[in-house]
């Protein structure tokens, strides 16, 4: 028999502290199984987005510094090249002047003795006549000819400072670049040239691996747009035949050089490149820094950022996992507590509404059920009947065999009664040796009578209690609703009266309530 929910529901949140209630509410709003992975995902997103932005900013910084560095290097380099060219031109003018004063081969050794010639280790100085024959030289070149060389032919035409294309001396395997000025006689006729020659590598010797890396570049572009010398790392190239003037045409706008990031056509390296066209000499200086090397220099920082982000992610994950686990455990214990409370409440409800000896509904629950069944009978117009039972001979058993045997007998009676009715019917113990049954299914008076007879027969069978066979009987009073009474209380009262009537008559153990009985009993 499943008890219907009792009318009063005990306060379930009783004894629960406030923070737990708030937590419970929060946990209800967002399921922790979804909340903590969400927190973890958000944390990871924040960490990696921040890292990505840091790396971006770092790269931007590296690029900006590279551009500043390349402009800086170009300006320094420009100054060095210009100074070197001014020194060379000054030497050319000095020698031309000295030779005009004293046109003899010994003029060079005399100037050298006074320390007026450029460093012999690096520079070669020569004087030619109008036909290109060398008439004086700091090297052993007397009698050789420069006729036909580009600078000599240019000097023949016009006065000016001429820088030749680099030229390989097949006998020594060494490259030279020739700087020259023409020697004129009184009537401005061509009388020869003064020449200073040096290795083109001289003009790119300021390459500094510490600042420019292994893939940077320094170069001097001649007026023909070709590199006189081009250095990358320790490699120097000479006599390039490609015209690069178009490469640097956009960025050779004097002092304010723009930095271009592009692939150098001669070696395929991507570089930050800038060029400065010299103001007073027919040359352009070009400086480049390898993009790969510049970015690689910043890699340790990027690696550091990535490591930090990885560690932060790990810490965040561990933290969220621990938090999630704690939350889950809290929820679990909360749930167990609630389940225990429900069980306790159910037990207490059961105790309050049931007879502890037989486990049958007690008077309270019986009255409650009766009221509900009456209401239901009113709605459905189905008949309802009450069987009121009182045991005969119970007091004797109790007195002769003791209370324990009496209790045992009551339990056995309860069991037999329950077996006699359908599951929907309520069997209750009102107290002492009084039992009641609410029958809801019996349509006819005969049906009720049959059930009552079944009960009488069942209880007439001997009980085995304390190794003894005990024989009792039962008196049953029966009322029908709505014929016998209109209220649950009156119905029960009537059943009680009918039971007394049955008890008094020896022959009949069951008795239906008769409305005339009421008047009989009233005066009594």
- Rounded Cα gap, residues 156 and 148, in angstroms: 10
**Least Å distance between CB 120 and other proteins?**
8
**Least Å distance between CB 173 and other proteins?**
8
Which of 4, 64, 110, 120 binds other proteins (CB under 8 A)? It is: 120
Closer to other proteins at the Cβ: 175 or 512?
Answer: 175
199 is a site residue for other proteins (CB under 8 A): yes
| Gyration radius of the chain's alpha carbons | 61
- Rounded Cα gap, residues 491 and 498, in angstroms: 11
- Rounded Cα gap, residues 374 and 440, in angstroms: 10
179 is a site residue for other proteins (CB under 8 A): no
Q: Please, what's the b/e burial string for 87-114 (b: 16 or more CB within 10 A of its CB; e: otherwise)?
A: ebbebbeebbebbeeeeeeebbeebeee
* Residue 447 backbone class (left: φ over 0; alpha: ψ -120 to 50; beta: rest): alpha
119 is a site residue for other proteins (CB under 8 A): yes
Among candidates 252, 262, 249, which has minimal Cα distance to 288?
Answer: 262
**Least Å distance between CB 309 and other proteins?**
40
Chain positions 58 to 97 lying near other proteins, rule: CB under 8 A, are 80, 83-84
**Least Å distance between CB 99 and other proteins?**
24
Closer to other proteins at the Cβ: 35 or 82?
Answer: 82
- Rounded Cα gap, residues 263 and 270, in angstroms: 4
Size of the site for other proteins (CB under 8 A): 21
**Least Å distance between CB 87 and other proteins?**
9
9 is a site residue for other proteins (CB under 8 A): no
Closer to other proteins at the Cβ: 198 or 440?
Answer: 198
Closer to other proteins at the Cβ: 242 or 329?
Answer: 242
Contact 369, 354 (CB under 8 A): no
Which of 206, 327, 372, 398 binds other proteins (CB under 8 A)? It is: 206
List the structure tokens of 213.
């890396």
Which of 99, 238, 366, 512 binds other proteins (CB under 8 A)? It is: 238
Region near other proteins per CB under 8 A, out of 119-127, 313-321, 462-470, 515-523: 119-127
Phi, psi values for residue 194, rounded to 5°? -105, 135
Cα distances (angstroms) measured from residue 57 to each of 51, 60, 314: 10, 5, 24
**Least Å distance between CB 91 and other proteins?**
13
- Rounded Cα gap, residues 15 and 65, in angstroms: 68
Region near other proteins per CB under 8 A, out of 60-68, 116-124, 144-152, 424-432: 116-124
121 is a site residue for other proteins (CB under 8 A): yes
Among candidates 236, 296, 289, which has minimal Cα distance to 264?
Answer: 289
Which of 36, 203, 512, 513 binds other proteins (CB under 8 A)? It is: 203
Closer to other proteins at the Cβ: 178 or 481?
Answer: 178
List the structure tokens of 500.
């007394």
237 is a site residue for other proteins (CB under 8 A): yes
Contact 163, 177 (CB under 8 A): yes
| Footprint on this chain of other proteins (rule: CB under 8 A) | 80, 83-84, 119-122, 175, 199, 201-203, 205-206, 234-240
């Amino acid at each position: 028999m499943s008890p219907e929910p009792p009318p009063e529901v005990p306060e379930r949140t009783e004894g629960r502290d406030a923070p737990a209630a708030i937590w419970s509410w929060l946990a209800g709003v967002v399921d922790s199984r979804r909340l903590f992975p969400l927190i973890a995902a958000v944390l990871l997103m924040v960490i990696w987005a921040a890292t990505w932005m840091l790396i971006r900013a770092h790269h931007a910084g590296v690029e900006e510094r590279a551009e500043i560095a390349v402009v800086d290097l170009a300006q320094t380099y420009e100054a060095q090249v210009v100074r070197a060219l001014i020194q060379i031109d000054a030497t050319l003018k000095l020698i031309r002047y000295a030779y005009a004063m004293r046109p003899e081969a010994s003029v060079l050794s005399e100037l050298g003795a006074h320390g007026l010639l450029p460093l012999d280790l690096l520079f070669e100085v020569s004087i030619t006549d109008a036909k290109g024959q060398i008439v004086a030289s700091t090297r052993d070149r007397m009698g050789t000819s420069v006729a036909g060389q580009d600078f000599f032919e240019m000097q023949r035409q016009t006065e000016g400072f001429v820088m030749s294309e680099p030229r390989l001396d097949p006998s020594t395997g060494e490259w030279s670049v020739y700087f020259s000025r023409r020697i004129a006689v009184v009537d401005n006729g061509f009388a020869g040239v003064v020449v200073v020659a040096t290795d083109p590598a001289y003009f790119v010797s300021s390459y500094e691996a510490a600042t420019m890396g292994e893939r940077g570049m320094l170069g001097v572009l001649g007026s023909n747009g070709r590199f006189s010398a081009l250095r990358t790392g320790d490699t120097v190239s000479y006599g390039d035949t490609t015209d690069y003037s178009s490469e640097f045409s956009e960025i050779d706008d004097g002092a304010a050089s723009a930095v271009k990031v592009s692939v150098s056509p001669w070696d395929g390296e991507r570089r930050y490149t800038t060029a400065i066209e010299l103001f007073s000499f027919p040359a352009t200086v070009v400086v480049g820094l390898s993009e790969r090397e510049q970015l690689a220099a910043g890699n340790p920082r990027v690696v550091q950022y990535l490591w930090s982000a990885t560690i932060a992610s790990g810490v965040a994950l561990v933290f969220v996992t621990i938090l999630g686990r704690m939350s889950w455990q809290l929820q679990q214990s909360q749930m167990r507590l609630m389940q225990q409370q429900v069980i306790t409440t159910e037990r207490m409800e059961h105790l309050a509404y049931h007879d502890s000896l037989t486990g049958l509904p007690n008077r309270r629950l019986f009255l409650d059920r009766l009221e509900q069944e009456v209401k239901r009978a009113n709605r459905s117009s189905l008949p309802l009947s009450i069987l009121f039972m009182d045991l005969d001979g119970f007091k004797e058993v109790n007195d002769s065999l003791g209370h324990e045997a009496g209790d045992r007998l009551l339990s056995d009676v309860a069991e037999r009664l329950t077996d006699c009715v359908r599951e929907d019917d309520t069997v209750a113990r009102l107290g002492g040796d009084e039992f009641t049954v609410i029958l809801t299914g019996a349509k006819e008076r005969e049906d009720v009578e049959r059930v009552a007879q079944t009960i009488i027969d069942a209880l007439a069978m001997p009980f085995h209690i304390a190794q003894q066979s005990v024989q009792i009987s039962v008196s049953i009073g029966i009322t029908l609703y709505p014929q016998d009474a209109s209220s649950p209380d009156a119905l029960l009262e009537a059943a009680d009266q009918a039971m007394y009537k049955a008890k008094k008559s020896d022959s009949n153990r069951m008795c239906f309530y008769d409305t005339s009985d009421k008047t009989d009993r009233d005066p009594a």
